[in-house]
Amino acid sequence: MLYLSDMGVIVPAILPTSREDLEGKLALLNGIVDSVQIDVVDGTFASPPTWPYVNRSGEFAQRLEDGDALPYLGSMHYEIDLMVQDVEEVIGLWIAAGAQRLVVHAESTEHLSGIIRELEVKYGHSKDFAPGLLSLGLAIGNDSDLSLIEPYTDRIDYVQFMGIASIGKQGQPFDARVLEKIAAFRQKHPDMSIQVDGAVSLETAPQLLIAGVDRLVIGSGLWKSHDLKEEIERFKNLVHEHGLYS
């Protein structure tokens, strides 16, 4: 049974309502984890919208022009889950802000090949080319067939499966269909990194780990707890108990 490092296996997810909300939650996590997923929802591909789409003020782009970046870049690795329709227009902004991992939802665009190619050419991203600097993952919903992402599996670093039926909202019930999708994908792609986002809890995590997941992205399962550090330790204990790739 193979175990990976605790760090980076448990990934808190933040659905920011504002820049202040984001910074406040990051401050609580700094020093406890080294990886965070920021859920970016545009209100079109998924809803309700999150920061920076809440007020449509252009605040995010302006901050970048002023030289601003995501906080704690020295100690925090950022993954941006792009639940947006116009991925091509914003992906570069998040890279400039310090993102090291990018999740593109396969259902959000008909231009996946072009997006991947742009990352390869413009940002130097290619499979195993610059590990740790920029990683690309594709997310796929439970209503979609795995054939949607198959043409790109040799050009991406990981796949994100959804533990919920409708993306963009925390606190939804677990969609058990994801377990079958994970198992089928893991059998065909034994070496591909797999993460799950949505309805990851102390109750569902063991099933996901056994199915073949190596990263657990956790939203309300953490934020509803009274002690973030203690709750993260509980999830880490599950990783040790159930292992990965079992």
Q: What is the structure's pLDDT at 57?
A: 64
pLDDT digits 0-9 by tens, 146-166: 999 999 999 999 999 999 999
At the topology level, CATH places domain 10-242 in TIM Barrel (3.20.20)
Q: pLDDT > 70: what percent of the chain?
A: 90
**What's the rounded mean pLDDT across residues 107-125?**
88
Q: What is the structure's pLDDT at 44?
A: 93
pLDDT digits 0-9 by tens, 32-82: 999 999 999 999 999 999 999 987 667 777 776 677 899 999 899 999 999
pTM for the structure as a whole: 0.92
Q: What is the mean pLDDT of the chain?
A: 89
**What's the rounded mean pLDDT across residues 178-186?**
96
Please give the DSSP secondary-structure letter assigned to residue 152.
Answer: G
Helices 112-122 + 87-97 axis angle, to 10: 30
Does 1 score more than 50 pLDDT? no
Does 103 score more than 80 pLDDT? yes
In the chain, the DSSP E strands lie at 10-14, 35-41, 77-83, 101-105, 135-140, 158-162, 193-197, 215-218
| Helix then strand then coil, % of the chain, to nearest 5 | 35, 20, 45
- Bridge-based pairing state of the strands 135-140 and 101-105: parallel
Supply 96's token pair: 């400039």
Listed residue (57, 150, 163, 142) closest to 112, CA to CA? 150
The H helix count followed by the E strand count for the chain is 8, 8
Q: Where are the domains of the chain?
A: 10-242
**What's the rounded mean pLDDT across residues 174-198?**
96
